[in-house]
Amino acid sequence: MTHLSLKPLADLTDDELAAAYAPRKEPWLRVNFVSTVDGAAQGPDGLSKSINNAADKRVFDALRVQADCLIVGAGTLRAEGYQVPSKPLVVVSRSGQVPEGLRDAPDGRITMATVASASHLEETRASLGAENTLVLGEHEIDLHALKKELADKGWVDQLSEGGPHLFGSLVAAGVVDELCYTIVPRLIGGGHLRILAGVDIDVALEPVSLLEQDGTILGRWLLS
Q: Which of residues 2-21 bind ligand NAP (CB under 6 A)?
A: none
- Is position 73 an interface residue for ligand NAP (rule: CB under 6 A)? yes
Q: Which of residues 48-67 bind ligand NAP (CB under 6 A)?
A: 48
Query: Using CB under 6 A, which of 121, 162, 178, 218 touches ligand NAP?
Result: 162
Query: Using CB under 6 A, which of 92, 105, 134, 136 touches ligand NAP?
Result: 92
- Is position 80 an interface residue for ligand NAP (rule: CB under 6 A)? yes
Q: How many residues bind ligand NAP (CB under 6 A)?
A: 29
Q: 155-191 b/e with 16+ CB inside 10 Å = b?
A: bbbbbbbbbbbbbbbbbbbebbbbbbbbbbebebeee
Report whether 73 contacts 54 (CB < 8 A): no
Between 15 and 45, name the residue whose CB sits nearer to ligand NAP: 45
**Alpha-carbon distance 187 to 14, whole Å?**
30
- Is position 158 an interface residue for ligand NAP (rule: CB under 6 A)? no
Largest Cα–Cα distance of the chain, in whole Å?
A: 53
- Is position 193 an interface residue for ligand NAP (rule: CB under 6 A)? yes
Q: How do 178-184 and 28-36 pair as beta strands?
A: parallel
Stretch that binds ligand NAP, among 3-11, 124-132, 146-154, 164-172 (CB under 6 A): 164-172
- Is position 75 an interface residue for ligand NAP (rule: CB under 6 A)? yes
**Alpha-carbon distance 54 to 160, whole Å?**
20
- Is position 221 an interface residue for ligand NAP (rule: CB under 6 A)? no
Quick check: bond before 163 cis, omega within 30? yes
**Alpha-carbon distance 184 to 106, whole Å?**
35
Stretch that binds ligand NAP, among 1-9, 18-26, 34-42, 205-213 (CB under 6 A): 34-42
Output the CA–CA distances (angstroms, integers) from residue 119 to 82, 125, 138, 208, 216, in the order listed. 22, 12, 12, 42, 42
Stretch that binds ligand NAP, among 2-10, 20-28, 87-95, 216-224 (CB under 6 A): 87-95
Per-residue string for binding with ligand NAP, 108-147, x by CB under 6 A? ---------------------------------x------
Report whether 40 contacts 181 (CB < 8 A): no
- Is position 197 an interface residue for ligand NAP (rule: CB under 6 A)? yes
Q: How do 6-8 and 89-92 pair as beta strands?
A: unpaired
What burial class does residue 118 get, using C-beta atoms within 10 Å of its C-beta: 0-12 exposed, 13-18 middle, 19+ buried? buried
Interacting residue ranges for ligand NAP, rule: CB under 6 A: 33-35, 41-42, 46-48, 73-76, 79-80, 92-95, 97, 141, 161-166, 169, 193, 197
